Amino acid sequence: MGHARPCDPQGSVIATTGKENMFDGLAHGRAEAPLDLRCCTARLRELRSAESEDAGAVLSVLMQLARLPVTTQGLKETGVGLELNSPFVRMHVCRDVREQSRHLVHAWKKALGLEAAHSDEAEVSTEVKPTASARRVEAHVTSKVRARTVADVRTAEAAASVSHPLVSDGPAKRRKSDSSRSLAPDCVNGDIAAVFVELADFEFKKKDTFKALAYKKVAAALRELTTRVRSGAEASRIP
């Protein structure tokens, strides 16, 4: 069996004989990179190292690569993909070189099924983003609510009991009284206060006392206001 000949030192890949084709076929059967693929990779590496501006030589190698079958194993063994993605080829001064390299990379990805895999990953990423965003918002709100100290919550409760001495100390009766007061005609922000009272009731049922008392504090502050709250900016200034 004849030996495979190396690449032409002048830059072109030597056409193989029938025996050399047989050698390449056996190598491919052993999951090794074909000789021509290794030669093309070596030639691209040589041109890159020399910083050659000979667009014809680069195009010649790219055209040869376009005619060769590739496998994932072959790409890993030769590193030809790294050469195609190197700035020397990808950002070459010759537009034909840039276009041919992009076309070649696209064709290889399609042949190896890599494009479909990237597309599936993109779809999964798009679907996960809303959930991740919602979790970040929820964590942010929860941390702000839990940052309230026990002293602040107790102070708010004491102030509410002084303002309304007739309200029973029982949690259930107190929540009911809060709801009825939120509907009083002399409370300009009664409807908004009622929302926070409902939120407090919900948090009490969840056994989250800190968050529930914080909502009650906001509701109490809204009832004390004599002006109508019409925006989130105004609400943020509530003491």
Is the model's pLDDT at 172 over the cut of 70?
no
Q: Which of 122-136, 164-178, 216-230 has the highest mean pLDDT?
A: 216-230
CA distance 223 to 192: 9
Three-point CA angle 23, 18, 63, nearest 5°: 85
Q: Quickly tell me which residue has 């190598």 as its tokens.
A: 27
- 221 or 24: whose pLDDT is higher? 221
Domain boundaries, the chain: 37-112, 189-236
Percent of the chain whose pLDDT exceeds 90 = 0
Q: How confident is the model at residue 178 (pLDDT cuts 50, 70, 90)?
A: low
Contact indicator for 70, 44 with CB cutoff of 8 Å: no
Average pLDDT rounded to a whole number, residues 9-19 = 39
Calculate the average pLDDT of the chain: 67
Helix (H, G, I), strand (E, B), or coil: what is residue 182?
Answer: helix
Helix (H, G, I), strand (E, B), or coil: what is residue 68?
Answer: coil
CA distance 146 to 200: 14
Report CA torsion sign: 225, 226, 228, 232: negative
Is the model's pLDDT at 123 over the cut of 70?
no
- What confidence score (pLDDT) does residue 161 get? 54
- What confidence score (pLDDT) does residue 132 get? 55
User: What is 37-112's CATH number, 2.60.40, 2.40.50, 3.40.50, 1.20.930?
Assistant: 1.20.930
CA distance 132 to 124: 12
- What confidence score (pLDDT) does residue 188 get? 77
Contact indicator for 36, 16 with CB cutoff of 8 Å: yes
- What confidence score (pLDDT) does residue 16 get? 37
Tokens of 33: 């990179």
Full DSSP string of 71-128: -HHHHHHH-HHHHHTSHHHHT-SSHHHHHHHHHHHHHHHHHHTHHHHHHHHHHHHHHH
How many residues does this entry show for the chain? 239
Helix locations, the chain, DSSP H: 18-29, 35-50, 55-66, 72-78, 80-84, 87-90, 95-112, 114-146, 150-163, 171-182, 190-205, 209-224, 232-236
Is the model's pLDDT at 3 over the cut of 80?
no
Cα dist from 33 to 44, 45, 65, 114, whole Å: 16, 16, 13, 19
CA distance 176 to 174: 5
- What confidence score (pLDDT) does residue 97 get? 86
Q: How confident is the model at residue 139 (pLDDT cuts 50, 70, 90)?
A: low
pLDDT in tens, 21-64: 433 433 344 445 567 888 888 888 888 888 877 888 888 888 88
pLDDT in tens, 62-78: 888 888 888 888 888 88
